[in-house]
């Protein structure tokens, strides 16, 4: 008997990329000895594509390359070859005019189980396309609600590791508390969300934690900082204490799938007035204008 989750995969008609071949997602198979399955020995990327065009592709490919280098896997393709794979996937899945996201995963490949890296394994390369829905206007108007949790994850959160157990446990806790995200705190300082980066605004100053090993260098985060600087807004990259988070005028979350979203409730208490702030509204508009400028 198949579960409903298995059936939905069975009926998926999308085309994915697996080790050089474009095949139906439902037929894509990887060995149980793949080190991605056995050890979560791999990294991933999520790249949004608006109207068929991968967004901030150069930055995503640089992070992919940095991540592969960090875990000592050779980058299997040049940037040009990656771009061709993404473009093919977008057109084969009929997304050339609408928004979607590319999920890409590279693992160290198949080998006899041994913690030490094998000398001769071939990386497993997988990519698929997911629909990317525009932010729900009702949710943007209401704002997100979050919980705060201790950052229980490892010491290399700058690597986009497929080992996401810490993140999913925290995100699940958010869901069980009817919240959209968990904002994580390590040694009294905000690091990031379980699947997003964090910004606050206080007295017209926009602030986000500096990039280090405690958080993922989000592509959306970097773009928000870039836009703020271009616009002459006061934006600083400094530690945010838990107290600063709780007393902020505005709190935002950023990610490739959320773009920039306002947080209006933290642990069920309102952020300032409990409605999306004016700085968020301005940044949201600037972000949309930036997207439109690339079309
Ligand atoms: N996650 N921090 C974490 C832990 C994340 O998982 C993500 C994104 C971000 C934001 O990064 P970016 O702006 O590059 O998307 C920050 C993706 C979307 C995911 O896992 O699906």
- The predicted-structure confidence for 223-243, as pLDDT tens digits, reads as follows 999 999 999 999 999 999 999
Pick the more confident residue, 96 or 103. 103
Q: What is the pLDDT confidence band of residue 220, given thresholds at 50, 70 and 90?
A: very high
**Would you list the DSSP string of 154-188?**
-S-TTS-BS--HHHHHHHHHHHHTT-SEEEEEETT
Q: What angle do CA 167, 257, 6 make, to 5 degrees?
A: 65
Backbone angles phi, psi at 191, to 5 degrees: -100, -65
Ligand 1 atom with minimal separation from the 256 CA: 15
CATH 3.30.2010.30 fits 137-293, yes or no: no
Among residues 7, 72, 80, 160, the one annotated as catalytic is 160
Two structure tokens written together for 284: 């949201």
- Domain spans, the chain: 4-131, 137-293
- Residue ranges in the chain assigned as alpha helix (H): 4-10, 35-39, 57-70, 79-92, 137-142, 165-176, 219-230, 242-246, 278-293
Walk across the sheet containing 21-24 and list its strands: 21-24, 15-18, 124-131, 100-107, 42-50, 53-54
Please tell me the distance between residue 28's alpha carbon and the centre of ligand 1 in angstroms. Answer: 25
* Per-residue pLDDT at 1: 63
CA distance 24 to 206: 45
Please tell me the distance between residue 218's alpha carbon and the centre of ligand 1 in angstroms. Answer: 6
Q: 4-131 with 137-293: one CATH topology?
A: no
CA-only gyration radius of the chain, Å: 20
Measured torsion, CA atoms of residues 99, 105, 106, 112, in degrees rounded to the nearest 10: -160
Ligand 1 atom with minimal separation from the 197 CA: 16
pTM for the whole structure: 0.97
Q: What is the pLDDT confidence band of residue 2, given thresholds at 50, 70 and 90?
A: confident
Two structure tokens written together for 69: 């280098």
pLDDT in tens, 125-175: 999 999 999 889 999 999 999 999 999 999 999 999 999 999 999 999 999
* Residues within 6 Å of ligand 1 by CB: 46, 167, 192, 195-197, 216, 218-221, 254-257
Pocket test residue of 197, 221, 226 for ligand 1, highest count of atoms within 8 A of CB? 197
Q: Are 242 and 188 in contact (CB under 8 A)?
A: yes
- Location of structure tokens 């405690």: 214
Does residue 295 register a pLDDT over 90? no
| pLDDT, mean of residues 92-115 | 96
Q: What angle do CA 200, 287, 205 make, to 5 degrees?
A: 25
> What is the CATH topology of the domain spanning 4-131?
D-amino Acid Aminotransferase; Chain A, domain 1 (3.30.470)
160 annotated active-site: yes
Please tell me the distance between residue 2's alpha carbon and the centre of ligand 1 in angstroms. Answer: 31
* Per-residue pLDDT at 134: 86
Alpha-carbon separation of residue 92 from 52, 83, 250, 257 (angstroms): 11, 14, 41, 21
pLDDT in tens, 172-195: 999 999 999 999 999 999 999 999
């Amino acid at each position: 008997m198949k579960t409903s989750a298995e059936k939905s995969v069975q009926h998926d008609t999308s085309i994915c990329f697996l080790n050089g071949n474009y095949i139906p997602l439902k037929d894509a198979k990887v060995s149980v000895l793949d080190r991605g399955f056995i050890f979560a020995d791999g990294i991933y990327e999520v790249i949004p594509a608006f109207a068929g065009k991968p967004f901030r592709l150069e930055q995503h490919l640089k992070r992919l390359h940095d991540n592969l280098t960090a875990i000592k896997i050779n980058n299997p393709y040049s940037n040009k070859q990656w771009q061709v794979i993404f473009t093919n996937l977008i057109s084969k899945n009929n997304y050339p005019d609408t928004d979607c996201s590319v999920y890409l995963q590279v693992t160290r490949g198949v080998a006899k189980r041994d913690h030490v890296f094998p000398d001769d394994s071939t990386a497993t390369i997988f990519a698929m396309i997911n629909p990317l829905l525009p932010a729900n206007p009702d949710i943007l108007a209401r704002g997100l609600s979050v919980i705060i949790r201790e950052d229980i994850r490892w010491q290399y959160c700058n690597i986009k590791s497929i080992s996401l157990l810490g993140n999913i446990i925290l995100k699940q806790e958010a869901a069980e508390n009817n919240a959209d995200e968990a904002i994580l705190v390590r040694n009294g300082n905000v690091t990031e969300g379980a699947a997003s980066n964090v910004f606050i605004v206080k007295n017209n100053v926009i602030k986000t934690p500096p990039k280090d090993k405690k958080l993922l260098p989000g592509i959306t985060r970097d773009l928000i900082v870039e836009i703020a600087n271009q616009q002459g807004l006061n934006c600083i990259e400094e530690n945010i204490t838990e107290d600063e988070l709780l007393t902020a005028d505005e709190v935002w979350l950023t990610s490739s799938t959320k773009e920039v979203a306002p947080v209006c409730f933290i642990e069920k208490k309102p952020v300032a007035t409990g409605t999306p702030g004016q700085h968020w509204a301005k940044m949201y508009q600037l972000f949309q204008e930036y997207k439109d400028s690339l079309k």
